[in-house]
Amino acid sequence: MVAGSKGVWRRALGGALVLTCAAALTTTVSSALVGIKASLAAYADQGVLTYGDAVFAGGAFSGALSAPVVGMAADPANNGYWVVAADGGVFAYGGAPYYGSTGGININSPIVGIAGTPDGHGYWLVAADGGVFTFGDAPFYGSMGAVRLNSPVVGMTATPDGHGYLLAAADGGLFTFGDAKFYGSMGAIKLNSPVVGIAATPSGNGYWMVAGDAGIFTFGDAGFFGSPAAHGIAGWATGIAPTKDGQGYWIANATGAVYYEGDAITYGNNLATARAEPIAAIARTNSGKGYFLLEPDAFQTGFAHPGGGGAIVTGAASQIQGDPVNGYFCNPYGPCEAWCALFATWAWEQAGIPIPRYAFVGDIYTWASQHTRVLPPWARPAAGDIILYGTGPQNVFTAVHTGIVAQVWPDGSIDTIEGDAGPGPTGYLNVIINGPFLPSHSMEYNGMPIFGFAVP
């Protein structure tokens, strides 16, 4: 089973991670910085959270990854699990064997999901462009890598016998390979929220898709057992895992909530933490009596592959953490107010760019247009650029959020580092990794478009 990500974040395209960050116009800050760390940072947890009979076999480690973590899968035959990064680096834990990765090659599009073979002797990786990579005894049955897609792929699931797999796109499109059967899709229907994950039924004669608003779509013999979308949810869903008999399912939320429907029972969640770590995936244990949650920002990331790095990115990456200062909208980059722009301009400052510490996104645009330059939303940014969300620099209602471009993939997908971003409650937000996502799909991925990039 594969959950959708760094929607938002990361981790797989399709879920909105960031929240609106706006402050009064023309505000600048020159106060001294307090308590800023100089090295790469990460959330202070282990990255893999366990519930029920799920056993922790390892997680975040001291080394820095070249690309952010985007997904995980439980080994279907052994006590262990795999974690995968956007560059295709695979990390095996517990009894899960390691069979290789794409971490050492330049792939065109970031990896967004992983699925294991039934005997646990192999796994598939899927990229946002629909490319499929096989390792161990995982057979190759085809991919969408050579086809121009309407919407990025967000995840994959294998058939129970391992002789096929299904790929789900953010627009609800569905692609089948091997013995996987097509029972329908949501590709022709306008969705309220993009699809973020897919899971096959135990018989292989059906599948579920879950959207970012926790809406559930059923096909073939997949049963509908309810959806929290009907009641409204805080945050956004990031993945789905069915129960062992297929008569229920769990849905993970970026906030750490785990919804359970049908015969699924709760084994706990991550809502008790004071500073919400963004959750990107859920994977069921082999027994069906527990599950794992993945928190990608616990893994230190250096953004060294394929097109990232630099002083600006290094400075921004040193701040990845939960709500950095106690207090409503309080932060180490300026006064207690909305601080996404304060964070972005601080990152430029640390790298020697003489930009004032702005608290309004539109002021960044104005300053950059006068002193450096601004790229249109369809242009290709570079690592270190500031991403400008909204429809224009006019006011806080049209210039709503910002962050630092940390990495650019060959297909144009990007990773960003953003301050004053979800999934915590408004006023108590975090510095997070967002992505990978295509800027042209920012509206469906982030819930807001992009109106430009400021170049240092």
3-state secondary structure 99-140: CCCCCCCCCCCCEEEEEECCCCCEEEEEECCCCEEEEECCCC
pLDDT of residue 5: 29
Query: Is residue 381 scored above 50 in pLDDT?
Result: yes
Same domain, 294 and 315: no
Per-residue model confidence (pLDDT) at position 320? 94
Q: Which of 298, 332, 353 is the last residue of a domain?
A: 298
The pLDDT of 228-233, averaged and rounded, is: 83
- 198 and 224 fall within a common domain: yes
User: Per the domain annotation, does 75 fall within a domain?
Assistant: yes
In a domain, 146, yes or no: yes
Q: Which residues touch 217 (CB under 8 Å, ≥6 apart)?
A: 172, 186, 195, 208, 209, 210, 211
Domain identity same for 286 and 431: no
Q: Is residue 229 located within the same domain as residue 339?
A: no
Interval 93-127: pLDDT, tens:
999 999 999 988 889 999 999 999 999 999 999 99
% the chain with pLDDT above 90: 79
Asked if residue 24 is part of any domain, the answer here is no
pLDDT of residue 39: 65
Q: Is there a single domain that holds both residue 247 and residue 336?
A: no
| pLDDT for res 275 | 60
Domain CATH code at residue 438: 3.90.1720.10
CB 2 within 8 A of CB 73: yes
Do 49 and 192 lie in a common domain?
yes
Q: Are 197 and 246 contained in the same domain?
A: yes
Residue 231 pLDDT more than 90?
no
Segment 410-455, tens digit of pLDDT: 999 999 999 999 888 889 899 999 999 999 999 989 999 999 999 9
Asked if residue 100 is part of any domain, the answer here is: yes
Question: Are 268 and 399 members of one domain?
Answer: no
Percent of the chain topping pLDDT 70: 90
Residue 28 has pLDDT above 80, yes or no: no
Q: How many domains does the chain have?
A: 2
Question: Residue 225: inside a domain, yes or no?
Answer: yes
Work out the mean pLDDT of the chain and round it to a whole number. 90
Q: Provide CB contacts within 8 A for 331, sequence distance 6+.
A: 324, 325, 339, 342, 343, 419, 420
Q: Does residue 235 share a domain with residue 193? A: yes
Q: Residue type for 87, please?
A: D
Domain boundary among 298, 321, 356: 298
Reply yes or no on whether the pLDDT at 364 is more than 80: yes
Q: Is pLDDT above 70 for 19?
A: no
In which domain, by residue range, is 346 found? 311-455
CATH number at residue 180: 2.130.10.10
pLDDT score at 423 = 87
Q: Is residue 10 part of a domain?
A: no
Q: Same structural domain for residues 218 and 246?
A: yes
pLDDT (tens digit per residue) in 163-195? 999 999 999 999 999 999 999 999 999 999 999
326 lies in the same domain as 261: no
3 pLDDT exceeds 60?
no
Instruction: Give the Cα separation of 173 and 148 in Å (integer).
Output: 13
Does residue 135 fall inside a structural domain?
Answer: yes
Bigger pLDDT: 416 vs 45: 416
Q: Show which of 298, 320, 342 is a domain's final residue.
A: 298
- Are 277 and 350 within one domain? no
429 occurs within a structural domain: yes
